[in-house]
Amino acid sequence: MRTLTLHSNNLDRAWAEIHLANLGHNVKVLRNLLPHGCELMAVVKANAYGHGDVKIARYLNRIGVFSFAVATIEEGIRLRTYGIKGNILILGYTDPHRLPELVRYRLSQTVVDYKHAKQLNASEQPISVHIKIDTGMHRLGESCNNTAEIESIFQCRNLRVCGIYTHLYVADSTQEDDIAFTKEQLSDFYTLLEHLKQHRIKLPKMHIQSSYGILNYPELQCSYARIGIALYGVLSSPSNRTKIQPELRPVLSLKSRVVLIRQIVAGECVGYGRAFSASRNTRIAVLSIGYADGVPRSLSCGKGEVLIHGCRAPIIGRICMDQLMIDITDIHNVKRGDIATLLGEGGSEVITAEEVAAASETIANELLSRLGSRLERVYL
């Protein structure tokens, strides 16, 4: 992603503004929440949740962050190719035939189960790994009950076990039964660690928490905290209530320009399927952004809004691949070239990622990570 000025000719359509000062603020706030000895591991998978992985990681390097997590080997290679320093952990599965690339680019690989460990070990090339432990989510990881298999992973001579971790997958909930389940997960994980110690296995660095783990279970002692969505100043849902509520600042704003204004009369329709029919003489503006840029189509027909001249304007008709239409009848002096804000502040109003995600019946994580590649990222 290129760094552009706000006057760039490339900003005549749609773009995302990335506020690096807010990212730095969030890093400082989140570090202050970590237990002593715990290091922030920045999760920059999915193009850093839509923010631009290389630019984000470079900035984090500059402010002293040197531990990163990605989802795929391609994401890890990309960071190394652009000179990112520090530890890079691949959280997802990597096929053993790509082990030479893990070595070449100095990437740490998650061992997703005992069979995966044996396949990686068979290559005869030493690599750094973290062992994923399944404590109930049943996604990736060797079951915490399979202690013999986990011990065997530590005995693999070509695997340098640098970490062991699990995932608290209902840590975002403060409901009593979910808290009880999270405590069961922690008990199972700590029981496994104690078993390993009793069998004279030196424990590597340990990590448990993601964003919500830090916000709801800040007391947990660990070596790393894998922080994703909170790093970008956002929570997954506006309904989430956390034990700790730090002052985080959104890093990303999403904007587009008005490219056409037209007047329609009562009874005329707008957009595909004639989904909007004007009940009055209506002034509409066309914005040059659509669902191919990551704007959820489910925000069509009044379910979504944008900010223009500091006022909220409803989206009318169905969102198109490359454009959407808004009702500006009650907003004065809108003209071609004006900027509309889909995420972020406009005057005294603000539209948050959490708000838009809820209106789209999804979470902010998905909303941000699906922002399209043709959107320019402007780093401020």
Q: How does pLDDT run across 76-96, given as a tens digit for each residue?
A: 999 999 999 999 999 999 999
Asked if CATH classification 3.20.20.10 holds for the domain at 20-232, the reply, yes or no, is yes
Q: Give the per-residue pLDDT at 1.
A: 41
- Tell me the CB-side half-sphere exposure of residue 229, using CA atoms within 13 A: 22
Of all residues in the chain, the percent with pLDDT exceeding 90 is 92
Give the rounded percent of residues in the chain with a pLDDT score beyond 70.
Answer: 97
Q: Is 82 considered catalytic here?
A: no
Considering only 60-64, 219-223, 253-257, 311-315, which range has the smallest mean pLDDT?
219-223
321 is in an annotated binding site: yes
| pLDDT for the residue numbered 2 | 45
Q: Residue 3 — very low, low, confident or very high, per pLDDT cuts 50/70/90?
A: very low
Residue 6 has pLDDT above 70, yes or no: no
9 versus 119: the higher-pLDDT residue is: 119
Q: Which of 28, 82, 197, 272 is catalytic?
A: 272
What is residue 5's predicted lDDT score, i.e. its pLDDT?
45
**pLDDT above 70: residue 10:** no
Would you say residue 328 has pLDDT above 80? Answer: yes
Instruction: Specify the pLDDT at position 9.
Output: 52
| pLDDT at residue 7 in the model | 47
What would the mean pLDDT of 94-116 be, rounded to a whole number?
Answer: 97
Predicted local confidence at residue 238, as pLDDT: 80
User: Mean pLDDT, the chain, as a whole number?
Assistant: 94
Q: Where are the domains of the chain?
A: 20-232, 252-379
252-379: CATH topology:
Lyase, Ornithine Decarboxylase; Chain A, domain 1 (2.40.37)
Mean pLDDT of 277-299: 96
How many angstroms separate the Cα of 374 from the Cα of each of 50, 53, 164, 291?
Answer: 12, 15, 38, 12
Predicted pLDDT at 313: 97
Catalytic-residue membership of 45:
yes
* 1 is an annotated ligand-binding site residue: no
